[in-house]
A and B are shown apart, each in its own frame.
Chain A
């Protein structure tokens, strides 16, 4: 197992280098002067000369790449002229919001997708099955941004003044103030330390922060605001997961050992959950891993629609303001994040299926 994990980690190093090189190349493809593309049109010559010297832009291209890789490795992503802040600070501020949204969407999609898939496989060709498949097919065909807007319309306007009314934008109701849980716990932390960074990151996820500081009004408010974006973002993965669960279950349910289990007189629930579902999990891990990419891409659109100030929203604002520095930095960070997620998926794959480890 350890050798397998080590090998997988080693194999992702060239990919990481490739990602760095690709984003570096993208940065160099920006038309015009790289300094003004990154620092904005108003940058003076003195500032530009200093910038060019610091980033080695007057050196050969390979050396420039070395500078770039070195900066990224040190977590230095430059400054954003649009937000006049270091990019890494922005990232630490906004990433928790995107992570919270993606996790909520993934949670929704697994919670609904797997049972739907199992039921439609067990009741193959029944109306439940037909409806699920219909839903799965439409689910993957809807644009995320459209679904988000439609959900906002239905739950904020059409269902206004009913118990189902939900807020169409933002993360919290106006006026609600959040206090980081570590302050409520009375922890003395100095800014800039690793502990502070991690706790600060966690405290920016409202639901987690509310739970940790037992502020349940906050948890409820944050949840209510998160439902629509999570539904919008979770629909495509939900449809994929339902389909994959169904086909994996159908495959397994046709096996001889299932017939044996039934012949032994085991109850349907035991046969389905214990004998069949345990063996249908493997393809699920794959499809969940694959969904992560669409989740991260979809987050940009969902955050734009629901006005959530996460990474995606910033990316959108940066694009409109032509803040290439941010676009480049965020692309690299999200890609690295994605590689790590895929690594975790691969490792859990090996954990679930011993045959893969031994290969």
Chain B
């Protein structure tokens, strides 16, 4: 038993020990004090549950038409409005709480599966952008000089394009499809993370504890990853959460334009795009996927704002 532990135990015995609170613990408690962050977490929680259990809770297959369903009691109707038994829809008709789409598929099942896709889209693009952005930002900030100049000028060029347009241009060249759309959105979101990481690295690069590690013989990688980058963690978490919201919106926009997920994939943007000319005749097919996108994006936005305030209490009085 080391001396430290002995001291702590003796303090404990006298009831003098300070209850130390970790940063995450503190953040969590601050987060719980904000109503909007709680709303965000609740919506997100529901979405995660839906995404994980879609195959059990969805009444039908998301990609198969009702014509393929055995023993379907009536002749299914294209773009049928929602039929909910509790709201007076005749009991002999099968229940479709969000109606049927243009290919006679159950809209509700498609929306449920769409949650899975949306979360994957948000998480994968942002993880990709964070990994690359962190490496680039850390290299630039730590080494400075021409490396920094080169990296940051490339980032400037990426930022010079309106992000959605650059994503459109990239997908047009790579060819439409969900994977290429994700890659494009990932690429256009790199600069934001590179900048955040670079700024954090610059702010601590000259600190004494970094020099101390160097003096103790720590190598560059150790200094960068163990001493410097942890400082970039909190801004990255905030930026990442808000970034997921943007990524989901952009991916939906690309799919809406026909550049992202291809039919019959149950992707909300693509579902909306496929039925957009039917907005006057079958508004539920446009309204519902849009609500799903908006709720998902809203949950990440609320959580991101909450995290920013919780991690940086100096801002709390402002927003």
B-binding residues in A (CB < 8 A): 14-15, 18-19, 21-23, 26-27, 29-31, 133, 137-138, 140-147, 149-150, 152-153, 156-157, 243, 246-247, 250-251, 254, 292-294, 296-298, 300-301, 304-305, 315-316, 319-320, 322, 324, 327-328, 331, 334-335, 338-339, 342
Contacts and interface: CB of A to CB of B under 8 A. Distances in A.
Nearest to B290: A146
B175 interface: yes
A140 B301 contact: yes
Interface stretch (B89-97, B140-148, B153-161): B153-161
A143 B257 contact: no
A26 B169 contact: yes
B154 to A, nearest CB: 7
Nearest to A312: B165
B11 interface: no
A342 to B, nearest CB: 8
A305 B290 contact: no
Contacts of B157: 15, 18-19, 21-22
A271 B286 CA distance: 47
Interface in B303-319: 305, 317-319
Contacts of B178: none
A101 to B, nearest CB: 14
Given A143-B252, A143-B253, A300 B165 contact: yes
B280 A157 contact: yes
A138 B168 contact: no
Interface string B157-183: 110111111101110111100000000
A146 B156 contact: no
A339 B160 contact: yes
Nearest to A250: B318
B252 A294 contact: no
14 contacts: A18-B157, A27-B173, A30-B173, A137-B302, A137-B305, A141-B295, A141-B298, A143-B269, A152-B279, A153-B279, A293-B162, A297-B165, A319-B168, A322-B172
A296 B256 contact: no
A78 B151 CA distance: 32
B161 A331 contact: yes
A247 B289 CA distance: 32
A270 B285 CA distance: 50
Contact of A14 (B153, B158, B318): B153
Contacts of A26: 169-170, 173
Contact of B301 (A141, A152, A156): A141
A324 B172 contact: yes
Contacts of A143: 249, 252-253, 256, 269, 272, 290, 293-294, 297
B241 to A, nearest CB: 13
A149 B279 contact: yes
Max chain B Cβ within 10 angstroms of own Cβ: one of A22, A143, A156, A334: A143
A204 B165 CA distance: 24
A300 B279 contact: no
Contacts of B259: 319
B36 interface: yes
A26 B166 CA distance: 10
Interface string B257-271: 111000000000100
B162 to A, nearest CB: 4
Contacts of A19: 157, 160-161
A137 B166 contact: no
B45 interface: no
A305 B280 CA distance: 13
B72 interface: no
Contact of A153 (B163, B257, B273, B283): B283
Contacts of B293: 142-143, 146
Contacts of B164: 294, 297-298, 300-301
> Which of A147, A292, A315, A331: most chain B CB closer than 10 A?
A331
B245 interface: yes
The 8 lowest CB-CB distance pairs between A and B, nearest first, are A297-B164, A146-B290, A18-B157, A141-B298, A141-B297, A293-B162, A297-B162, A331-B169
A138 B294 contact: yes
Contacts of A316: 257
B276 A305 contact: yes
A31 B172 CA distance: 11
B160 A18 contact: yes
Contact of B161 (A142, A320, A335): A335
Contacts of B318: 247, 250-251
A145 B294 CA distance: 11
B286 A297 contact: no
A135 to B, nearest CB: 12
B35 to A, nearest CB: 10
Nearest to A304: B257
A31 B175 contact: yes
Contacts of B305: 137
B272 A145 contact: yes
Contacts of A133: 36
A219 B5 CA distance: 81
Contact of A294 (B162, B245, B297): B162
With most chain B CB atoms within 10 A of its CB, the pick from A152, A305, A335 is A335
Contacts of B28: none
Contacts of B295: 141
Nearest to B298: A141
B307 to A, nearest CB: 14
